[in-house]
Chain A
Amino acid sequence: AQRVTQPEKLLSVFKGAPVELKCNYSYSGSPELFWYVQYSRQRLQLLLRHISRESIKGFTADLNKGETSFHLKKPFAQEEDSAMYYCALTDGQNFVFGPGTRLSVLP
């Protein structure tokens, strides 16, 4: 069965500090992984996807099939990064979302 876990419910870091939001998954096939973000009072939106291999807003995520992980990283956190982050995987039709991690970047 497909499953996505995010061990941290809340992560607080100071502005300028590195941040890593953890995501692990279980999936029998070849997964496509995503990170979604929800800023305060905004709709859930795509942040990045593993197949694009790009950096969005300074965030990157590398798919590690050996560790079945897709951790989200940013070297220097900004206050505007404070939001709810969801890791997700898809089999091409259905999406499975992790429980989410609330990132709080302190001034």
Chain B
Amino acid sequence: SAVISQKPSRDICQRGTSLTIQCQVDSQVTMMFWYRQQPGQSLTLIATANQGSEATYESGFVIDKFPISRPNLTFSTLTVSNMSPEDSSIYLCSVVQNEAFFGQGTRLTVV
């Protein structure tokens, strides 16, 4: 199994600012996934982060808004840039090792 540490667990941010979320895995993985989860709703995949190459973004998500870093096989960051209240959500990182494992999530509130 994979253990994922994600931080911060929550933050309240001013509109127009940026927040970087960190995700650390206790084992090496090729791909890391970033999701957005509206409270009580489903998971929406933002992007897939591969080590050594640019992240692959899903429809509706762009690199300028959600830049991702993947410096090594155990770590990734997601930045939510130029935030607006619509970005308020829970952001999750995930890895797959026979099953999907998730971080505890970052609850972001933009005011």
A-to-B contact residues, CB < 8 Å: 34, 36, 43-46, 49, 84, 86, 88, 90, 93-95, 97-100, 102
The yes or no answer to B64 lying at the interface (CB within 8 A) is no
Can you pick out 23 interface pairs between chain A and chain B where the beta carbons lie within 8 Å of each other? Answer: A34-B100, A36-B100, A43-B102, A43-B103, A43-B105, A44-B92, A45-B102, A46-B99, A49-B99, A84-B40, A86-B42, A86-B43, A90-B100, A93-B31, A95-B94, A95-B96, A95-B100, A97-B42, A98-B42, A99-B41, A99-B42, A100-B41, A102-B40
Q: How far is the CA of A16 from the CA of B100 in the complex (A)?
A: 31
For residue A44, which residues in chain B have a CB less than 8 angstroms away from its CB? 43, 92, 102
Residues 39-56 of chain B, each 1 if its beta carbon lies under 8 Å from chain A, else 0: 011110000100000000
Q: How far is the CA of A93 from the CA of B45 in the complex (A)?
A: 13
A-B contact count (CB 8 A): 36
Q: How far is the CA of A95 from the CA of B103 in the complex (A)?
A: 15
For residue B40, which residues in chain A have a CB less than 8 angstroms away from its CB? 84, 100, 102
Residues 93-111 of chain B, each 1 if its beta carbon lies under 8 Å from chain A, else 0: 0101001101111000000
For residue A98, which residues in chain B have a CB less than 8 angstroms away from its CB? 42
Q: How far is the CA of A90 from the CA of B100 in the complex (A)?
A: 9
Main secondary structure of the interface of A (DSSP, over half): strand
Q: How far is the CA of A90 from the CA of B99 in the complex (A)?
A: 9
Q: How large is the interface on B (under 10, 10 to 19, 20 to 34, 35 or more residues)?
A: 10 to 19
Query: How many whole Å from A53's CB to the nearest CB in chain B?
Result: 15
B-to-A contact residues, CB < 8 Å: 31, 33, 40-43, 48, 92, 94, 96, 99-100, 102-105
Q: How far is the CA of A34 from the CA of B48 in the complex (A)?
A: 20
Query: How many whole Å from A28's CB to the nearest CB in chain B?
Result: 19
Q: Let me know if B102 and A100 touch, CB within 8 A.
A: no
